[in-house]
Amino acid sequence: MKHLKLLALFLAIVPFISSCSSDDDSPEIINEEEVITDVTLTFTNSTEGSVTYTYTDPQYRDDSYVAPVISLTSGETYEVETNFYNNSDPEDPELITEEVEEESDDHFLTYGFSDVDIEFTRTDGANSTDSDGVQIGLSTEWVAGTTGTGSVLVSLVHQPTEKITDPEEGAVVGGETDAAVTFDLEIL
């Protein structure tokens, strides 16, 4: 009976001993994904000035939200800046683009044009070019071709295993999509 009590006590203590570990076994801290509520595309050219189009995640839209339709003029060239925001707390809006730039090795943007004629070029500077010299796509140039309507799918990919820039609209292998939004687009 005494041996049985000692065995029971030993079995009760074992889980506590095995659950203790050294600091060397502590889990790796994982960079938590950011909340992205809004994606903006700002188009600037010498003729028309600057126009910003904002896509807001349906979860964060209010009753006044109107889906943006990008309107470009055939033959015109536009400098385009893409930005990401976390506006889930209106008292504390956050520009996520800064983090994307800081972690340029871990991010890449792709642009999927559908049924529209756009000549697309990446124009990123040092802040949005990764350590391998790949422009991640926050700054781009769009030349509007023939008139028509269609759309563009803008995707921000986190930790792709390969960033493909040929064609310049981009493609990836692996990674996870942080944001993917579709803007309607018309060329007049």
pLDDT at 9: 44
Neighbours of 114 (CB within 10 A): 10
Which amino acid appears at position 60 of this protein?
A: Y
Q: Which two tokens stand for residue 162?
A: 């390969």
Q: What are phi and psi of 112, to 5 degrees?
A: -110, 105
Class of domain 27-187: mainly beta
pLDDT at 26: 45
Burial class of 9 by CB neighbour count within 10 A (0 to 12, 13 to 18, 19+): exposed
pLDDT at 32: 55
The residue written with tokens 């990446």 in the block is 122
List per-residue pLDDT tens for the chain, 188 residues long: 444 444 444 444 444 444 444 445 544 434 456 799 999 999 999 999 999 999 999 999 999 999 999 999 999 999 999 999 999 998 999 999 999 999 999 999 999 999 999 999 999 999 999 999 999 999 999 999 999 999 999 999 999 999 999 999 999 999 999 999 999 999 99
